[in-house]
Amino acid sequence: MEIMIQETNKEKKVNMPRTLVKESAEKIGEKIRINGWIGARRDHGKIIFIDLKDISGALQVVFIPKDKELYKMAESLGLEFAVSIEGQINQRPEKMVNDKISTGKVEMLAEKLEILSKSENLPFELDADKEPNEGIRLEYRYLDLRREKMRENIFLRGRVIKFMRQYFWNEGFTEIETPLLTKSTPEGARDYIVPARLEQGKFYALPQSPQQYKQLLMVAQFEKYFQVARCLRDEDTRGDRQPEFTQFDVEMSFIEQEDIINLMENMLIELAKKETPEKHITKVPFPRITYKEAMEKYNSDKPDLRENKNDKNELAFCWIVDFPMFEWKETENRWDATHHPFTMPQEQDIEKIKKDPGKILAFQYDITLNGYEVGGGSIRSHKPEILEAVFETMGHTKENIQQKFGHLLKAFKFGVPPHGGIALGLDRLIMILRNEKSIRDVIAFPKTGDGRDLMMNAPSEVDDAQLKELNIKIVNKDKK
Ligand code: ASP
């Protein structure tokens, strides 16, 4: 593909194939072409040095006044300009060797230069000691993502997802996508809803998780499912939450709690070994603590079990098991499922479930890491009568159950296998692996704490025509 050339010295258009800068160390004496951005510029007397950065690293490029036109162009180079340069790779003089970078023994003597695009002065320095203010980072996220720390975060995120995908494929799982436009699945949060243009007055809900679909995939006889799933929950601003976040979501048939725990534990151990070899896990196998014990001993269901809280490379995983099936919801004066209603109670006697809900434990497990919950799951109620008893205990009427969950009860009449699963919160896991304090720092394009995308300026108003088509009227614009 021909690149649009804005400026070039003489007719010497740069036209060699491109070499990545990290390969330059092996090209001493050769002429190569590199593409990238001006990461730094140092003028030493008559010599101009620039650091040319690309996806693979950075290379020092030298411009000398011998070729006047080329030199003049080099003088106009500003930080972050996108350029293409051709030149010869030479060994650096001994005293200029930089052992910190892989290209530190070589440099390029520039012969041709194209400025592919210029850059204005940036609103913040990319390598400032002090982190720029978060508002400006989010408004110019594409610049923020150029910072070294953010690049490492995003690269690690990609590698973690790749590792997990590979691991689960190797274990016989299949990756299956489930819909975004769907019906509400209760995961304890408010739904985001989307108006249905073709059925006015009706709405889709965006999934709080793929919970019901993944269970239906077990009815569909896939046996082992996973998905890198986006989950959407419309919660009030609460700490470090995002309206949309990513789960590594898993479901399996013909298994017990033990199988899921072992599978996830082995995967996490291998992941840490491969992707964060500098880290060490405090205890293997991961400790298992009952919910009751955790509350009594640590007053928390996500205890921080690190032996040395100043060791940034310590990973203390822990399983919390035997959660209570129900919790009393004071505000609504009713029992609610601690996890979600699809979880299997450890008691199978319907009368006992209904009579004393507070006493019933669930086949539910959370996995915690350094004091954070990084995942949770359960064995599901696959017997329709138990599922119904749970819904009734939560205060649903029979009609209400049919209307909301009839599809699931119907499916469970067709040879549903016993099944269970888990979901890992990828954002939080990666945040901890990178020693970050906020999940926003491990998400390429996150929202602010109050749910705004400062770069795209979302949410935003829509055209009257769009509203009209949907038959929607904004009644009170200023209402918060
Ligand atoms: N859907 C559950 C959640 O989002 C995870 C699970 O039970 O597998 O917490």
Q: Per residue in 218-239, pLDDT tens?
A: 999 999 999 999 999 998 876 7
* Spatial separation of the C-alpha atoms in residues 87 and 385, rounded to whole Å: 75
Q: Is the pLDDT of residue 322 over 90?
A: yes
Q: Whose CA is nearest to atom 9 of ligand 1?
A: 376
The Å distance, Cα 187 to ligand 1 centre, comes to 8
Is the full-model pTM beyond 0.85?
Answer: yes
Question: What confidence score (pLDDT) does residue 10 get?
Answer: 54
Which residue of 227, 339, 390 sits with most ligand 1 atoms within 8 Å of its CB, as the best mutation to test the pocket? 339
Distances (CA, A) of 175 to 215, 287, 408: 14, 30, 21
With bands split at pLDDT 50, 70 and 90, how would you rate the model's confidence at 479?
A: low
Instruction: Tell me how far the alpha carbon of residue 422 lies from the centroid of ligand 1, in angstroms.
Output: 6
The pLDDT score that the predictor gives to residue 236 is 82
pLDDT at site 464: 93
pLDDT in tens, 357-408: 999 999 999 999 999 999 999 999 999 999 999 999 999 999 999 999 999 9
Confidence band (pLDDT; 50, 70, 90) for 1?
very low
* Percentage above 70 pLDDT, the chain: 96
Beta strands 288-290 and 317-321: pairing type? parallel
Q: How many CB atoms lie within 10 A of CB 227?
A: 23
Average pLDDT, the chain: 94
Q: Which of 213, 340, 427 to mutate to test the pocket of ligand 1 (most atoms within 8 A of CB)?
A: 340
**CA-to-CA separations, 47 to 50, 87, 93, in angstroms, rounded:** 10, 15, 14
Angle subtended by helix axes 148-170 and 426-433, to nearest 10: 120
Lowest mean pLDDT among 3-7, 102-106, 157-161: 3-7
Which ligand 1 atom lies nearest to the CA of residue 247? 4
Write out residues with Cβ below 6 Å of ligand 1.
187, 209, 211, 376-378, 421-423
pLDDT at residue 4 is higher than 50: no
CA 36 – ligand 1 centroid, Å:
43
Q: What is the mean pLDDT of residues 78-105?
A: 94
**CA of 358 relative to ligand 1 center, distance in Å:** 21
- The number of angstroms, rounded, from the C-alpha of 480 to the middle of its chain's C-alpha atoms is 30
Q: How far is the CA of 339 from the centre of ligand 1 (A)?
A: 8
Mean predicted confidence (pLDDT) in 87-116: 94
Q: Are 38 and 81 in contact (CB under 8 A)?
A: yes
Enter the tokens of residue 439: 């999940």
Determine which residue's CA is closest to atom 4 belonging to ligand 1: 209
